[in-house]
Amino acid sequence: MKLWKHLLIGLVTLLTCTIAVAKPVELDNVAVVVNNGVILQSDIDNAIARIKANASQNNKTLPKTAVLHDQVVDKLIMEKLQEQEADRIGVKIDDSRLDAAIANIAERKSLTKAQLIASVKKEGISYADFRAEIRKEMKISEARNALVRRRINIIPAEVDNMSKLLEEQTDATVRYNISHIQLRYNDDNKAEMLAKAKNIVKQLKQGKDFEQLAMTYSKGPKALKGGDWGWMRKEEMPTIFADHIDNEHKGDIIGPFVSGAGIHILKVKDIKGLPTVSVTEVKARHILIKPSIILSDAGAKKELNGFIKQIKSGQATFGDLAQQYSQDPGSASQKGDLGYQTADNFVPEFKHQVEELPIGQISKPFKTVHGWHIVEVMKRRQVDKTDSAMKNKAYQILFKRKFNEEASTWLKELRASAYIEKMKDNNSDS
């Protein structure tokens, strides 16, 4: 009997010691289930702590704890849903891209990397957690851009209308140095004078001096000044001039055109205040292989490496392989040729390749949200895009508007179709 009592006391003592040791180690509770993922209570606590620390540093007033808690939970749920979408479509952020992004953050804050790390630690965040957070934000951003972009449709008429509005704003600051030749006509000689005007334009395009031709032929008010009207904004010009000036360049000849006052020829001698846009366009070709249930990432990569060997050994050409195997229907029919495009038209990984690859060199296989690629840059060229600058700007304005609208709708749909369960609040007293 005494032996049994001693054993029982020993067992109770052992259990007490175990409990005493285990008590400080509290399990991290699951706070919210989001589809097949979870948000931990520590995620919420850490986010709230960071917000409070930031508010304290900037002397900002925060809402009540319960309201702040709900706001943080909602934000974390939306981040988790977007992160799951990023994983679904295969978004990966490698260390080199992450390091570049962090370097940009440091540069914007005018900090060295060491100073940035110290700043992060001062906020109570480890550098490893900071890197993980930035990687997550990059993944979410890339997934959102890829998925929302597909939902946006901008028709040419919308771009034209927006471009006209922008032109009206730009016209207020742009000044033109205009020269003018005016020929008189009547009902009997109109055809003859029009033919004469066309011949003058032909001479001008062949390099003849405008001032000399104006003094010789013009019957306009500035004929003795070589047709020079000087510097004017469009609103200051005669209406007949302003109606015919539209996205012209320095040196352009306009006309001949007819009005009740005569037949006119204009020369844009110079322009001030009109932005000029020069861009690099890349002519590239690629082969796309999409992983599937049957074909793994490793298999797709291996297949592309095999194509590279065939091309380098002369067994096959890039174009023939693209036409036969590429899973990008649009370019496959063109032997992989994507035509001339600016690098900004491509997703980040592809953009990086076409910007960095030497002409004629084939890339190693790389992955984007679309699948696995190899790409070759065939040519590069500088293109004056001044003519299309206004339309590009108009398109970007419309795109940003529609992107924000569609992103909001996409997030609502994402949440509406998700399984979300909030566990019993174990932190209600916080």
What are the backbone angles phi and psi of residue 224, rounded to the nearest 5°?
A: -75, -10
CB 178 within 8 A of CB 237: yes
Residue that finishes a domain, picked among 220, 245, 272: 272
| Long-range contacts of 132-137, Cβ-Cβ distance < 8 Å, separation of 24 or more | 134/98, 134/101, 134/102, 134/105, 135/93, 135/98, 136/79, 136/83
108 assigned to some structural domain: yes
Rounded Cα distance between 63 and 319, Å, is 61
Comparing C-alpha atoms, which of 37, 130, 119, 125 is closest to residue 85? 37
429 assigned to some structural domain: no
Q: Are 44 and 144 part of one and the same domain?
A: yes
Q: What angle do CA 168, 170, 173 make, to 5 degrees?
A: 120
Residue that finishes a domain, picked among 272, 298, 323: 272
Tally of CB atoms within 10 A around 352:
17
Q: Are 292 and 259 part of one and the same domain?
A: no
397 assigned to some structural domain: no
What are the backbone angles phi and psi of residue 182, rounded to the nearest 5°?
A: -125, 125
Q: Are 61 and 97 part of one and the same domain?
A: yes
Instruction: Check residue 60 and give its pLDDT.
Output: 83
424 assigned to some structural domain: no
Per-residue pLDDT of the chain (430 residues; tens, 9 = 90+): 433 333 323 433 333 333 344 444 445 689 999 999 999 998 898 888 888 887 887 788 888 888 889 899 999 999 999 999 999 999 989 898 899 899 999 998 898 989 999 988 887 788 998 999 999 999 999 999 999 988 999 998 998 888 888 776 666 678 899 999 999 999 899 999 999 999 999 999 999 999 999 999 999 889 888 999 999 888 788 888 888 887 678 889 999 999 888 999 999 999 887 666 678 899 999 999 999 999 999 999 999 999 999 999 999 999 999 999 999 998 999 999 999 998 988 998 999 999 999 999 999 999 999 999 999 999 999 876 666 677 878 888 899 888 888 898 999 999 999 999 998 754 444 4
Instruction: Check residue 232 and give its pLDDT.
Output: 87
Q: Are 253 and 285 part of one and the same domain?
A: no
Residue that finishes a domain, picked among 220, 238, 272: 272
160 assigned to some structural domain: no
Q: Are 51 and 145 part of one and the same domain?
A: yes
Q: Are 198 and 127 part of one and the same domain?
A: no
- Which domain, by its residues, includes 195? 176-272
- Which 3 state secondary structure label does DSSP give 60? coil
Place of tokens 């029009």: 194
**Tokens in use for 48?**
């709230």
Instruction: Check residue 276 and give its pLDDT.
Output: 65
Q: Are 285 and 369 part of one and the same domain?
A: yes
Q: What spatial distance separates the first Cα and last Cα of the chain, rounded to whole Å?
A: 51
Q: Are 253 and 335 part of one and the same domain?
A: no
Q: Are 143 and 240 part of one and the same domain?
A: no
Rounded Cα distance between 77 and 73, Å, is 6
H-run or E-run covering 269: strand 262-272
Question: How many residues does the structure list for the chain?
Answer: 430
What are the backbone angles phi and psi of residue 347, rounded to the nearest 5°?
A: -65, 160
Instruction: Check residue 305 and give its pLDDT.
Output: 96
Rounded Cα distance between 60 and 63, Å, is 10
Strands 175-183 vs 37-40: parallel, antiparallel or unpaired:
unpaired
Q: Are 236 and 292 part of one and the same domain?
A: no
Q: How many domains does the chain have?
A: 3
Instruction: Check residue 14 and give its pLDDT.
Output: 38
Q: Are 39 and 133 part of one and the same domain?
A: yes
6 assigned to some structural domain: no
Instruction: Check residue 394 and give its pLDDT.
Output: 87
CB 226 within 8 A of CB 210: yes
419 assigned to some structural domain: no
Q: Are 185 and 283 part of one and the same domain?
A: no
Q: Please spell the DSSP secondary structure of 31-44, one letter per residue.
A: EEEETTEEEEHHHH
- Strand order of the sheet with strand 228-233? 228-233, 175-183, 262-272, 253-259
Residues 6+ apart with CB under 8 A from 333: 323
Q: State the amino acid at position 137 in one-letter form.
A: E
396 assigned to some structural domain: no
The CATH number linked to 372 is: 3.10.50.40
Q: Please spell the DSSP secondary structure of 339-372, one letter per residue.
A: EEEEGGGS-HHHHHHHHHSPTTPBPPPEEETTEE
**Tokens in use for 384?**
């004056």
**Tokens in use for 41?**
């209570």
Rg of the Cα atoms in the chain: 34
Tally of CB atoms within 10 A around 316:
16
CB 390 within 8 A of CB 171: no
The CATH number linked to 58 is: 1.10.4030.10
**Tokens in use for 188?**
């009997």
Rounded Cα distance between 40 and 37, Å, is 10
